[in-house]
Amino acid sequence: MASSFSSSLASNANIMLLVLLLASSLMAAFASNFYQDFNLTFGDGRAQIVNNGELLTLSLDKYSGSGFKSKNEYLFGKIDMQLKLVPGNSAGTVTAYYLSSLGPTWDEIDFEFLGNLSGDPYILHTNVFSQGKGNREQQFYLWFDPTKNFHTYSILWNPQVIIFYVDGTPIRKFKNLESIGVPFPKNQPMRIYSSLWNADNWATRGGLVKTDWTQAPFTASYSNFNANACVWSSGSSSCTSKSPSSLANNAWLTQDLDSTSRWRLRWVQKNYMIYNYCTDLKRFPQGLPPECSNTN
């Protein structure tokens, strides 16, 4: 017991040391220009940056989807992006917006929006990968039509917790539970990626509904990217900063849910969650993953 307690203290001390080191080298929040912050990665013209860098659009047709990625890598941050999803009959399409590292033991934090038949709700699919292992899916309906207007989808990622937000409302929390053997993404810097692609073999009703290419091109739009985050410098063991910032301006580094946010999280999960791997006993007949017993 004494050894376990000492290990826990050492782990907590290491996390706080990391927080203090990062706090001295953080960039302040900044309003972004898509030309400055992102590269278009594929699509042969189907991805476009317009309106002097204020708007980015991705399109999908029967020949190709499209995508982009951030120029910077981040190690912890509060990432916000406004999206307006593919309208109408978007069945078979997936709009993915996520953080990811590279390599066989990659880390990843996912938003994926699964298209629908006209009149049916979108499904928001979330997942967390650590050291190449995922299988932590939670899915939600949204309480609004995500195709009519822009809505803000945010990822808070710090050494203690990952929290997914929709318009400032938390929908999911993934805690750092390395103390009970659950890997947590904290050592690998990640880029922001997004893509619009065809996944009609699984995306809508398990692949029963196929993409209607007469509705193409399908288009999703992005605006108002903001990152209050630590920018990783390649080859360096620490983060660098575009502008000096104090710990007080980077409360996200130690942020967790307060009582009001915990109530809002419970409201979303009670009323809009449609799948939770932590309740899927058929999928895990030998017992649920260990983090499922510690979700506060």
Q: How many helices (H) and strands (E) does the chain have?
A: 3, 16
Catalytic residue among 54, 73, 108, 178: 108
SS3 of 155, please? strand
Provide the sign of the torsion angle of the four alpha carbons 195, 107, 170, 242, taken in this order.
negative
SS3 of 80, please? strand
Q: Is 96:195 a contact under the CB 8 Å cutoff?
A: yes
Catalytic residue among 112, 137, 178, 291: 112
Active site residue 112: yes
Residue 7 has a CB neighbour count (10 Å cut-off) of 11
CA 165 from centre of chain: 9
Residue 290 has a CB neighbour count (10 Å cut-off) of 11
Active site residue 178: no
**What residues have CB less than 8 Å from 294, skipping those under 6 apart?**
175, 177, 180
**Which of 59, 85, 88, 110 is closest to 217 using CA atoms?**
59
Element (H, E) at 92: none
CA 217 from centre of chain: 25
**What residues have CB less than 8 Å from 34, skipping those under 6 apart?**
49, 53, 54, 55, 56, 222, 225
Q: Which residues are catalytic?
A: 108, 112
